[in-house]
Amino acid sequence: MRRCTLAFCAVRTPGNVFGSWRPDELIGCSVVVNAGRSCHYLNLCEQLIHESVHHCQAMVDVRRPFNIRPEALTPIRYASPWTGRQLTAKTLIGATFVWFALVCFWRDVRSNTGPQPSPHTLNLAVEDSEFDESFAEYFQET
């Protein structure tokens, strides 16, 4: 994750809907939205992994584009098996990579084979759109 996510920031938006996104122009920059005290650290990890996979794909796509033939770009859409949203072939493949990474993450969490955070890390929270200093250190060290 740390090789693909170079920076992230936290923002608050009206409605308190938790999530994340990444600006297409800034490969490696993730934005976490509404990660307040009620946000469990594993859900935050899930969002960071999700965006990191997209960053990795974007980095590869810059060097080796997924589609180099303009005639292959068609309006055909495919239903996402997870959300039902209509996706292009490229976005469906990207979603599959994200899905695989998240399945591995949650499998490791359930089996306790993944990294085990300290009790201090379990209690960290994001308040007023600023990460606790120790929270930032945790992600720099792992």
Predicted confidence (pLDDT) per residue in 6-15, tens digit: 888 888 888 8
What mean pLDDT value characterizes the chain? 75
What φ, ψ does residue 73 adopt, rounded to 5°?
A: -75, 110
Residue 21 resides in a domain: yes
120 touches 135 (CB < 8 A): no
Q: Which helix (H) or strand (E) holds 78?
A: strand 78-79
Q: What's the burial of 134, exposed, middle or buried (CB within 10 Å: 0-12/13-18/19+)?
A: exposed
Residue 1 resides in a domain: no
Q: Give the C-alpha separation, 109 to 106, whole Å.
A: 5
99 touches 112 (CB < 8 A): no
Per residue in 36-76, pLDDT tens?
Answer: 777 888 888 899 999 999 999 888 888 887 766 666 667 78
Full residue range of the structural domain in which residue 117 is found: 7-141
pLDDT of 82 strictly over 80: yes
Measured from the Cβ of residue 73, the count of other Cβ atoms closer than 10 Å reads 11
For residue 71, the model assigns a pLDDT of 65
What φ, ψ does residue 20 adopt, rounded to 5°?
A: -155, 165
For residue 53, the model assigns a pLDDT of 92
For residue 136, the model assigns a pLDDT of 41
For residue 108, the model assigns a pLDDT of 83
Q: Is 112 left (phi over 0), alpha (psi -120 to 50) or beta?
A: left
For residue 51, the model assigns a pLDDT of 92
Structurally, how many domains does the chain consist of? 1
Residue 2 resides in a domain: no
| Amino acid identity at 116 | Q
DSSP 17: -
